[in-house]
Amino acid sequence: MAEIAIAVRNLRKEYVIAAVGHDTLRDQIAHLCRSLLGRTGKKETGSHVFRALQDVSFDVIQGEVLGIVGHNGAGKSTLLKILSRITEPSAGEVDIYGRVTSLLEVGTGFHAELTGRENIYLNAAMLGMRKSDIDRRLEEIIDFSGTEQFIDTPVKRYSSGMYVRLAFSVAAHLNPEILIVDEVLSVGDGAFQKKCLGKMDDARRDGRTVILVSHDLPVVANLCQRAILLRQGRVVGDGRPQQIIEQYMSEAFTGSGASLVDRTDRYTQNELMVQAVTFLNEKLETVQPAISGQHLIIRVTYACHVSKVFNDMRVMVVVSRDERTACILSTDLVDRTTLNLEGSGYVDFHVPHLPLCGGRYFLHVAIETDALTQDWIQYAAELQVLDGDYYGTGRMYPHDGWRGKGIFIDHSWNMQRLA
């Protein structure tokens, strides 16, 4: 039987939020006059209790990589702070079996006036590493972080990306039994993020336990063995990553009805942004679900938030299912016309003969050039597809076992008898 690394039982965390008055001088004079006249009344200050976590219970097996997903305010960071012994719970129990290293905020434990090299020693010592171990791993830590050129520069001059690279490198090279990571991979370039994911994958292969909070859902799907979904401080899903991601995205699409304008879990320059993704038929009527074999228009609406023309852009839609890419639509693949964007508008992708089998698909949308991504939203929309008579023969799949397994391809066949 597998051993438990972390056991969480009936965890609750509450914060008392007080209403602080900011009266003007006129308000204070009026209150004084009422007091003198004997009509003081009650001054409305008040407070209320905010429950960040409610009755949270789960186990983490040793060597397991657990992903935690949920919308902003769901309680993810609060949970990790409790697991890291930074915050005390209001009620409940947490049992941890093993040495924990946490990377919750960029540069936690760094001293702004010290150099990168000095902060490695300081931070590693705070996390429990002996000086002899630091000496032995120093060059490896520096090399991994990619800060060699600035390692003897005070970290107050570092960018946020340099901060997180150095902080992650120190934490990752401690070889902890349990590694807790919260969203720090959103800082830094793609190459460093790939190195971080590789390091966490190495930790998994070595039998260490990893808990990861990330809005990067493909990372959760590919790296984690299991995921839990938090909603308003409660665990509402626990299972395979793809299953939990689909539950999470279903809530995003059918819950509050928030537009893409409100999505903060995106990579963006905040200048040229995707506003919405909608599905239309050839009569420009909204459709959902779509039907295999019929005409589908995928409309990507955009808006510029600065007064400039964005030259030589491309708009791209990636359609995926079950962690795999099904197809890619991109303006630059099918047309050499230069795409310049300004103001607001939309780009329509026409799919005259929808080749997708019946099932559930997710769309990821980007606006970019070869050199720079302006806006990139993963799981921007959900498309439901119903089986249709794609080939116009009145025939569907040979049997149910093939249903939803791939895509339709236009083809023909002939036969030649040899004997």
**For a pLDDT cut of 90, what percent of the chain falls above it?**
38
The CA–CA distances, whole Å, from 45 to 15, 31, 42 equal: 16, 14, 9
For the cut 70, the answer to whether the pLDDT of residue 84 exceeds it is: yes
d(CA 385, CA 404): 10
The C-alpha angle 222, 227, 230, rounded to 5 degrees, equals: 135
Q: How many CB atoms lie within 10 A of CB 313?
A: 20
Extents of the domains making up the chain? 12-51, 56-254, 260-402
Helix axes 116-126, 160-172, angle to 10 degrees: 40
pLDDT at residue 347, as a whole number? 96
d(CA 196, CA 59): 25
pLDDT at residue 257, as a whole number? 41
Tell which CATH classification among 3.40.50.300, 2.30.29.30, 3.90.79.10, 1.10.3720.10 matches the domain 56-254.
Answer: 3.40.50.300
Place of tokens 């040899």: 418
Helix axes 190-205, 160-172, angle to 10 degrees: 10
pLDDT at residue 194, as a whole number? 73
Mean pLDDT computed over 126-148: 87
Query: Residue 169 has which token pair?
Result: 């490198």
Closest CA to 363 of 339, 347, 344, 384: 384
Could you tell me whether strands 91-96 and 4-18 are parallel, antiparallel, or unpaired per DSSP bridges? antiparallel
Helix axes 116-126, 131-145, angle to 10 degrees: 130
Quick: pLDDT tens for 90-108.
999 999 998 887 777 655 6
Q: Any idea of the CA torsion for 134, 138, 142, 148, to the nearest 10 degrees? A: 130
Single-letter amino acid, residue 212: L
The whole model's pTM is what? 0.63
Quick: pLDDT tens for 226-274.
999 999 999 999 999 878 887 887 766 554 444 788 887 788 999 999 9
Kindly state the greatest CA–CA separation across the chain: 116
Closest CA to 365 of 287, 274, 269: 274
Mean pLDDT computed over 281-286: 91
For the cut 90, the answer to whether the pLDDT of residue 399 exceeds it is: no
d(CA 43, CA 31): 9
The answer to whether domain 56-254 and domain 260-402 are alike in fold is no
Mean pLDDT computed over 119-137: 84
Mean pLDDT computed over 409-418: 89
pLDDT at residue 79, as a whole number? 93
Q: Give the SS3 label for residue 152.
A: coil
pLDDT range class, residue 17, cuts 50, 70, 90: confident
Looking at every residue in the chain, the average pLDDT score rounds to 83
pLDDT at residue 255, as a whole number? 42
d(CA 268, CA 359): 30
Position with higher pLDDT, 40 vs 384:
384
Which range has highest mean pLDDT (22-36, 170-184, 335-349, 350-364)? 335-349
Q: Do 333 and 313 touch, CB atoms closer than 8 A? A: no
With b meaning 16 or more CB within 10 Å and e meaning fewer, what string describes 347-376?
A: bebebeebbbbbbebbbbbbbbeeeeebbb
> For the ranges 57-61, 253-257, 377-381, 383-387, which has the lowest average pLDDT?
253-257
Mean pLDDT computed over 281-306: 92
For the cut 60, the answer to whether the pLDDT of residue 299 exceeds it is: yes
Position with higher pLDDT, 322 vs 80:
80
Q: Which long-range contacts (CB under 8 A, 24 or more apart) does 252-255 make?
A: 252/71, 252/379, 253/381, 253/382
The CA–CA distances, whole Å, from 105 to 66, 98, 108, 182, 185 equal: 19, 22, 6, 7, 11
The CA–CA distances, whole Å, from 377 to 67, 186, 215, 264 equal: 19, 13, 10, 9
Residue 261 CB contacts under 8 Å (≥ 6 apart), including other chains: 273, 275, 276
CA torsion through residues 95, 100, 102, 108, sign? positive
Backbone phi, psi, residue 289, to 5°: -85, 165
d(CA 228, CA 66): 8
Mean pLDDT computed over 185-192: 62
Overall fold of domain 260-402: Coagulation Factor XIII; Chain A, domain 1 (2.70.50)
pLDDT at residue 256, as a whole number? 40
Q: Give the SS3 label for residue 21.
A: coil
pLDDT at residue 161, as a whole number? 77
Mean pLDDT computed over 142-156: 91
Position with higher pLDDT, 5 vs 170:
5
